[in-house]
Amino acid sequence: SVINDKIITQKEIILNKSHKMQNMQKLLDSPKIKAWRSLMHAYTQIYRYLESELLKENCSISRFQIFFYLYFHGPLSSIELAKSLNVTRGNISAFIGRLSEDSLVVINAAEGRGGKQLISLSKKGKSQFEDLFPEHIKRVEIVMPDISLKSLNALSEIDLNP
């Protein structure tokens, strides 16, 4: 009878876990959750592909992103760059130090900005980015599916920062 009680208890635990699993699985059935999971999967796959292609050209995706922001939005302070890339200022400082050693960026004191230093691409950095960027865009064009303007606008409007 103690053995039977243990067997019944184990069966109840298994059934309870199975019921919880079914309830958890149902949470994944919502169209918005399916879309989110698809976006996360696509992001991971595309990121890995683009990163591997950039590495073949001796450029990490982090370096490429810094080039991108400095080329199209620079000059920027390390704080602005860190916020744009959603990384710590320490990470940016380390990257900028390496880029500076390779003569790919120039660091200048910003007038009228409280002594902040502004980072911009050097001629060498601009040239390197201008060589990389068109091929990168071709790769993005190849791997990205067509997305309706309505969906693209809806995704672009997501802003959860207060």
* pLDDT string in tens for the chain (162-residue length): 555 566 667 666 666 677 777 888 888 889 999 999 999 999 999 999 999 999 999 999 999 999 999 999 989 999 999 999 999 888 899 999 999 999 999 998 766 656 678 999 999 999 999 999 999 999 999 999 999 999 999 989 988 875
Using omega within 30 degrees of 0 as the cis cutoff, is the peptide bond preceding 162 cis?
Answer: no
CA 138, 142, 143 angle in degrees (round to 5)? 120
- Separation of alpha carbons 49 and 4, rounded Å: 56
Instruction: Let me know: does 108 contact 118? Beta carbons within 8 Å.
Output: yes
CA angle 156, 157, 159 (to 5 degrees): 105
Q: H or E segment at 80?
A: helix 78-85
Q: Which amino acid is at 13?
A: I
Tokens coding 53:
């292609």
Predicted TM-score of the model (pTM): 0.77
